[in-house]
Structures are given as structure tokens and as C-alpha cells.
Amino acid sequence: MARLKDKYLSLKPALQAELEIKNPMQIPALDKVVISVGAGFAMKDNKLIQNIEDTITKIAGQKASTVIAKKSVAGFKVREGMPVGIRVTLRGEKMYNFFDRLVSIALPRVKDFRGVPRNGFDGRGNYNFGIQEQLIFPEVSYDSVMQIHGMNITVVTTADSDKAAFLLLEKLGMPFSKGSN
């Protein structure tokens, strides 16, 4: 079992008491983690798209998929069928393993890191934040990277409010910034 899942199971009673939840099935939990990269800058370069996909696959521990444009947009020089991004959705054991590596290894490696912003909640208990370069993950070697790119990470929880989701993520070790962003 993942180290973070053990930690979550030991935190459940404290979360239930702090949020004053009567039904244990309503205790917030992690549902899924989505990693996505907008690769509009690499639309015409198939090797670069493949390199980004391989990098995200290494980071996630699961095969990433290419997002294809559904319709043409002349203003962005996008044609239907062109690759415009990479994404992977993690659930279960892989989700807990990735979140643990993100919180305990990758985020502390960010230069001048002062915590992730507190204002990334969407009102429904989900949290979004961006990372500016993929090199903070130890799985990625500098030599194999063709171009440095960022990524968006969405943490979907079963919480019904931002307060409950914030408390869950904070107890799981998410390093939020001290001030109110």
C-alpha cells in the first residue's frame, strides 16, 4: 500500500472530527490527479510532442495520451486533428504514489519555493496549480529533455467545499504558502 494512503487512513478520524462529519462516507478523500501540458508551441513538431509525452509518462508512471484538436481555429493556426496537448489521469495506487512524490520530493526542489498558492480552489473542492518546469521531478534527466515546459496539476477530491479540500490537502502534506494569495 502507498505510504500516503496509510497516512490518509490514519488521518480520517481527525478529519471527521475537525469537519464535524457524522457519516464516515462523507470524509473527503483524493479522487484523482490529472496532469496536463498544453503543447500548442509544439504542434508542428511530432518529435517534440513525443518527447513531452514520454516525459509526462515517466513522471506519472502511467502512459500519457495526446490531446487532439476537435476543430480548426484560424486565429491560433490550429487545424482539426493536430496535437495540442498531453494529459494523464491517475487514480488509486498510482495517484497516491504520484502525490506523495510531488509533495515530498518534487515541490521542495523548486527554486525559491514558498509554497503553492492558496487560491487554486474552484469552489467544488478541487485544486489546480501549475509547475513551470518538468525538471523538478527526479525521474526526468536533463539530457533527455528537448524543451523545458510546464504543466498543470489538478487534484480532484470528494470534498464538497473548498474548506474541506484545503484541510485534506494540508493534512496530506501539501505545502501551501503562508500568506493569502
44 inside domain: yes
Per-residue pLDDT of the chain (181 residues), as tens digits, is 678 888 888 989 998 899 888 988 989 999 999 999 987 777 777 888 888 899 899 998 899 998 888 888 887 777 888 888 899 999 999 999 999 988 888 888 888 888 888 888 988 889 999 888 888 888 888 888 888 888 999 999 999 888 999 999 999 888 888 865 4
9 inside domain: yes
Contacts for 96 with CB less than 8 Å, ≥ 6 apart: 2, 3, 4, 5, 8, 30
Q: Pairing state of beta strands 127-131 and 65-68? A: unpaired
pLDDT digits (tens, 9 = 90+) for 88-102: 999 999 999 999 988
Domain count, the chain: 1
pLDDT digits (tens, 9 = 90+) for 14-33: 988 998 889 889 899 999 99
7 inside domain: yes
41 inside domain: yes
Q: Is 163 helix (H, G, I), strand (E, B) or coil?
A: helix
Give pTM, 2 decimals. Answer: 0.87
137 inside domain: yes
Angle at 172 between CA 104 and CA 154, to 5 degrees: 80
Q: Residue 70: which domain range?
A: 3-14+29-171
19 inside domain: no
Residue 86 maps to which CATH number?
A: 3.30.1440.10
